[in-house]
Amino acid sequence: MADPSYPSDLLYHPEHDWARVEGENATFGITWYAQDALGEVVFFDPPKVGAEISMGDAYTEVESVKAVSDVIAPLSGEIVEVNGALSDNPEKINEDPYGEGWLVKVKLSDPSQTDVLMSAAAYEATLDS
């Protein structure tokens, strides 16, 4: 997508990751800002289902032509599903970062962590500097 977009139904981590939280489960991805800074994503090697991931730690990588970037977990939990379609179409991360470009689904180990994530408005404000 060409223009910045930060859906209001998502929660945001300062390392440019989003979480769509539904009870004890959540979907993670990278924000419009992150994909724009990265440029065209050409490779995504999904992490393993069953892997435990921790808020604030890198859990996977996305690669553009030019560089590889760590992706930071916005919340802690266990990966229960990965977006396997991205192996063949990693450009979905650029084209639809909040939809078809989702990265993993996670069973949250501590849903109360959502308290420290930011709203769309708060996250967007951090990008204005």
- Which listed range, 4-12, 23-31, 39-47, 96-104, lies at the site for other proteins (CB under 8 A)? 39-47
Least Å distance between CB 24 and other proteins?
Answer: 30
Does 120 bind other proteins (CB under 8 A)? Our answer is no
Which residue type is seen at 91? Answer: E
Does 42 bind other proteins (CB under 8 A)? Our answer is yes
Among residues 52, 57, 78, 87, the one that binds other proteins under rule CB under 8 A: 87
Does 49 bind other proteins (CB under 8 A)? Our answer is no
Helices (H) and strands (E) in the chain, counts: 3, 9
Q: Which of 67, 71, 73 is nearest to 53 (CA)?
A: 73
Contact 17/74 with Cβ under 8 angstroms?
Answer: yes
